[in-house]
């Protein structure tokens, strides 16, 4: 009997140790934190492998479902576009914010970075489109999202904030940071906000404040950007995008935020090329330092 108990205890301990460890993958970097902030960077990897083919556009089947990779002879109206360009310097900004936050507060956010080039893997898409059936890419995809889940699990059911770092090509030179809460341009332009659609649903419920307070109120992330001297949308200055380009938030924000439940909220930040690429190293550093302070203030107000 004692032997059976010991064997069961040993099995329990083995399972516990295994389940408490994050995934290990050479192309996913995970720095474990000790606070309720999680940072992720899915699109600024620079590792290219001959063992992973370049991701191709998909093609819709007879039922209108996108199949990846698509057929070379796919009809133009059935092509499912795949983006393979990297968000250059998104991880540089994320690391600056990460390091400055530690310096300012003594606390360490969780940081997850995909180091495969986006042409090999796109962790901000469902796995079929992201890895296109390649086993090595799928393993990296699962490690990336597994690391996020591990970071979330360390909060033990307490509220937290997940920030996903991105960048966009600023064709129209609007030069603003897009703050994505899963409301699209139509939602913001109309002023009609269904809270159940938002990646910060838990924050709204927990505080009881109107959703507008978090989108473009005085203590919103957009307001903090503007106070630091950088344009943002939504913000008090620009509560809705109008005709400007706007990204609402992608797959990571959708599945790791609180839209579908839980108490960890997610926000996608899209930085313009003026900051990511055209700015000097000194200017980009200055931006990161101020962003770290903005996030520190936002966390202090809503997640202490």
Q: Which residues 6+ apart lie within 8 Å of 103 measured at CB? A: none
Residue for token pair 């949308």: 233
Q: What is the mean pLDDT of the chain?
A: 93
Count CB neighbours of 107 within 10 A: 14
Q: Report yes or no on 68 lying in a domain.
A: no
Residue 65 lies in a domain: no
Condensed to tens digits (0 to 9), the pLDDT of residues 13-61 reads 333 333 478 999 999 999 999 999 999 999 999 999 999 999 999 999 9
In a domain, residue 64? The reply is no
Range of the domain at 273: 22-44+84-302
- Strand, helix or coil at 162? strand
Residue 19 is predicted with a pLDDT of 46
DSSP calls for 108-172: --EEEEE-B-TTT--TTS-HHHHHTT-HHHHHHHHHHHHHHHHHHHTTTT--EEEEEEEEE--TT
258/197 Cα distance (integer angstroms):
9
Q: What is the pTM of this model?
A: 0.92
> Does residue 52 lie in a domain region?
no
| Tens of pLDDT, residues 65-87 | 999 999 989 999 999 999 999 99
Task: Tell whether 73 is covered by a domain.
Answer: no
pLDDT at 16: 32
CA distance 112 to 33: 10
Could you tell me if 73 and 2 are in contact, meaning their C-beta atoms sit under 8 angstroms apart?
Answer: no
Is 78 contained in some domain? Answer: no
Question: φ and ψ at 61, to 5 degrees?
Answer: -85, -170
- The per-residue pLDDT for 219 is 96
Q: How far apart are CA 216 and CA 201, in angstroms?
A: 16
**What token pair was written down for 275?**
């900051």
Angle CA(31)–CA(258)–CA(254) in degrees, nearest 5?
Answer: 80
pLDDT at residue 117, rounded to an integer: 98
Look up the CATH number of the domain holding residue 104.
Answer: 3.40.630.40
For residue 262, is it within any domain?
yes
Q: How many domains does the chain have?
A: 1
- Cβ neighbors of 131 (< 8 A, separation 6 or more) are 121, 137, 138, 140, 141
* Percentage with pLDDT > 70 across the chain: 94
pLDDT at 183 over 90: yes
- The stretch 154-171 carries a mean pLDDT of 97
């Amino acid at each position: 009997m004692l032997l059976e108990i010991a064997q069961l205890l040993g099995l329990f301990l083995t399972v516990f140790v295994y389940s408490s460890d994050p995934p290990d993958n050479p192309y996913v970097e995970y720095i474990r934190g000790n606070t309720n902030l999680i940072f992720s960077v899915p699109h600024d990897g620079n590792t290219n492998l001959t063992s992973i083919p370049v991701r191709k556009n998909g093609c819709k089947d007879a039922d209108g479902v996108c199949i990846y990779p698509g057929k070379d002879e796919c009809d133009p109206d059935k092509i499912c576009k795949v983006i393979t360009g990297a968000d250059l310097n998104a991880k540089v900004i994320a690391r600056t914010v990460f390091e400055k936050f530690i310096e300012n507060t003594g606390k360490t956010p969780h940081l997850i970075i995909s180091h495969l080039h986006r042409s090999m893997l796109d962790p901000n898409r469902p796995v079929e489109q992201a890895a296109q059936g390649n086993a090595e890419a799928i393993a990296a995809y699962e490690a990336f999202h597994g690391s996020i889940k591990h970071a979330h699990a360390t909060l033990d059911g307490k509220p937290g904030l997940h920030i996903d770092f991105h960048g966009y090509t600023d064709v129209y030179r609007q030069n603003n940071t897009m703050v994505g809460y899963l409301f699209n341009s139509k939602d913001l332009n109309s002023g009609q906000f269904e809270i159940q659609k938002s990646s910060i649903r838990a924050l709204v419920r927990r505080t009881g404040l109107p959703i507008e307070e978090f989108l473009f109120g005085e203590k919103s992330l957009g307001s903090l950007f503007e106070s630091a001297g950088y344009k943002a949308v939504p913000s008090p200055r620009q509560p809705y995008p109008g005709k400007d380009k706007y990204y609402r938030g992608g797959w990571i924000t959708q599945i790791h935020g609180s839209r579908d439940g839980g108490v960890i909220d997610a926000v996608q930040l899209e930085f313009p090329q003026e900051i990511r690429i055209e700015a000097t190293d000194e200017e980009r550093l200055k931006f990161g330092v101020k962003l770290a302070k903005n996030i520190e203030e936002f966390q202090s107000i809503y997640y202490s």
